[in-house]
Chain A
Amino acid sequence: MTAPRVTPGGRWTGYHGVNGDHADVNTAATDLINILDAVEVPIVVLRRDFSVACFNRAAADVLGLSPSDIGRASRDISVFAGCPRLEQQCDEVVAGGAASRVDLRDGDNWFVVRISPSTSSGRQVTGSVLTFTDVTAFRASMSSAIYERECTKTIFNTVRDPLVVLGADQRIESGNRAFYTMFEVSRDEAQAAPLYELGNGAFEAAALREQLEEMLAGSRAFRPVEVDDVATAKGRRALTLDAHPLSFPGHSERRVLVTFHDITARKQAEAAKDLRSEEELRRSEAFLARGQRLSLTGSFSWKVASDEIAWSDQLYRIYGLEIGVPVTLELVRTRVHPEDVALLEEMVQKGREGRDNFEGQYRLVMPDHSIKYLHVVAHATRDQDGRLEYIAAVQDLTERRTSEEALAKARSELAKVARVTSLGVLTASIAHEVNQPLSGIITNAGTCLRMLDTNPPNLQGACETARRTIRDGNRASDVITRLRALFSNEELTLEFLDLNEVTREVIALSLSDLQRSRVALQSQFAEDLPTIAGDRIQLQQVILNLLRNASDAMADVHDRPRRLAIRTELEAGDRVRLSVRDAGVGVNPRSMTKLLDAFYTTKADGMGIGLSVSRSIIERHHGRLWAEPNDGPGATFSFSIPGGPEGDTAIAPVARQP
């Protein structure tokens, strides 16, 4: 028999060794005791009165029982306090004979205690055998699994995006709260339903089924799918579906987690933005086009390396070309004024050399032979590949130029009027004054000839008419003197003047005239000139006259630049000098002195009064006006007048001829 032996004193004989008379029984009991002590599972035997009958080594080690606990009531042993229902359970087992289990907690450790009946050799139930299985680790992993699961479930349900897990055949296994809400189905209704039944069939149309199929078959890749027009609790929505494979160790069957992301708002915003930016683009393009039309400005881009040129509509209009025809440099050249082709080539060359920005003016000859004046400003940029590209604006200056010319014409007429007015005389009567004596000369000379031609000649009459002819000749000469004298009688309006400033004003007035005559003006002003006392208007008439003469002298110059240099300088004796140097036809040295006489002119349409009057004005300012030929082509006209305020009191009347 292998039942454990219990001494009449109730002690666990095995623990204390065997001291029986029967050696074989002892041997069997010793073996049994060895086995029980080798078992790691604590085993405790309680008597029917719940006192400890005996226990094995593991019970001592694990539950902390000691030999002194044998015979004690289990309720007095701390380890059993963790299981209040132990006595009742044991009673039931003793009474019923069937084993049962009860949980027991000992500090941090958990045990499942199996209670089985303990029987004596006579099959009589004498108590219960408790075997303790340590489930602490199991419980911990269980509890953590439960915790994780609860967390996951909470997250799953808290996520605002709908999520669903699909199983075989893409049938719904479970979804989160958002999923059921979105598709207005209950958990039960959705259970095992194909995904495609939801959303009013919108998913069927999308390239979804195949991808999900592949994923359920083991693929991990999934391209998110956009599905428009999905029927949901919130109306028709646009959704992006993404999928992630779910696989579990030990489960051969795969599942797929599908996420739904509502992109309706984003798509609407994008659509609105597209619409808006499209509208904005359209508006700004229209605005630009209108601006170009209004400002008569076209624009172009020029990719230097490839010579790709793109024009704005307005530029086509300016060039008078059909909008959209391909633009080449050759085509541009056909429109450019022959005299300006070189200019254009130069600009193109500059562009090719990649100088930063360039700017220039050139003319076009239109098919109707009209001329257009263009101004181009080009800005160098680099495209994303670092290649040189120019963005340029081309303005049509023709109208502006026309009005400038009209303005200049009006201005020059005004200047003429001012000049005539400042002469203070004659105006219309200059002709009258001159023509009267001329008329007399011609009439008298004619009469004289006739009188001499009669037979006999009327010598007395001829002499009389010849005398009158001489007198009329003197009268004509007097007119010239009177012209200057009358002019000189004008009151001078004296003020202190800065000759540089006075000259600058004249230049400003003449600039457009000079430009139109293609005269290049160089000015050089000496600093710190003394002020002069003089009549601003009259001195300006002189300067204007010199400039105009110089410009006129170069009108027929075509083989060299029409260079006009005006400079002021300080002369010895505190005099200021202004000189105007032209590159014109020049003056014969022999006629230099005659130049300044009245009515002497080298100009076909001139009266020759200008220089004479100018000399009078300068002389009244105590100055001197003279002309000299240049070393090179042209002549230089200069005047000098004393500087300083003493000139104020020293203005002399010009001597009048009697």
Chain B
Amino acid sequence: MEPKHDSKWAKFHPMWDGFYTFLFTPGETTSRGSHIRDGIDLKRTMFMVVLALIPCLLFGIYNTGHWHYVATGEAGEYMDMFGDKLIYGLIQVLPIVIVSYAVGLGVEFIFCIKNQHAIQEGFLVSGMLIPLIIPADTPLWMVAFATVFAVVLGKEVFGGTGMNIVNIALTARAFLFFGYPTMMSGDKVWMSGISDLSRETLEANGVTGATQLGELASFTGPKADWIYPGGLEAFQAKWSIMDSFWGFIPGSIGETSVVAILIGAALLLYTGIASWRIMLSFVLGGFVVGILSNMGAINPYMELEPLNHLVIGGFAFGAVFMITDPVTASQTNTGKYIYGFLGGALSITVRVFNGAYPEGVMMAILFMNVMAPLIDHYVVSANIKRRTKRLKTKTA
């Protein structure tokens, strides 16, 4: 089966090699001394992250169906029509996952064959992340288009897997966000299949169609525009922190359930794939800005408890799966604390102070991705300075 160097299929060798090593353990072993420090390679790493994302995906499938039937008024309670919800969710979500993988891997294969590189498995994770951070109603051709954009301009131009400067999945999301704003924000996309329903129908079924963030963002405007005239109490009467924690809230497919995300986080931390320093400082950064905005509150949004901030929107998902991406994050330990903290702080800052962007996590993480090398640079040069100083005092 293996295409030999002289056969006419030789240029497809990277593709064959990629599939072969993915499916089988290669039979050869090194005959001399080897230098393996750890048995985990890129395939296993990536697969572990995909595994960590499965709870989010499963919950996202249920949640997509759940909000569809809530919005149409057919099933209000969580367990009503459970099977129908799952089926509806599967029909909405699975095609997005398939398109994201097919298109992304296709682009990856083309570049690998063209450059005769071995195929690397970086896209296994990106391909799963992209569906999880977009609304379930996103048309498939947009998913495909965004994936091509992200893989080519986010990754391949920099040299492929492990060379990218910004997070690929977030690049895809940013492309959709700026390219098709009507499909990525507002009150028509967060509950699947409601674009034909009138505002009155939605209100009769007890939903606005917007995410919590969209509703909260109305608090930054004049009082007449508030979705909840009763202020923050009215908002909290509708959405309890526990609801948001379990994930029964409208939002992108995989970002809603903090519980599912925490299961993934536990796996990532146990295997050491994600950095606990970044995760911790990201959450801390968001928390601190939450407290600060509480202290100087001038509108109901600023009064929202810091804890509540952490469980709504994409904050938890960003903290566990996005900001911890080892390629785009800071590499030094001190840098990781700074990087995570600023990322979290910026996320909540954008959220609370910029009504035009209800969710700041994407922007904040992309921004910090770009800043990460700078942080590392200063951490390293500070270390050099400290050590030369120590050397001088010793010799003096």
A and B assemble together = no
Q: Mark A residues whose CB is within 8 Å of B.
A: none
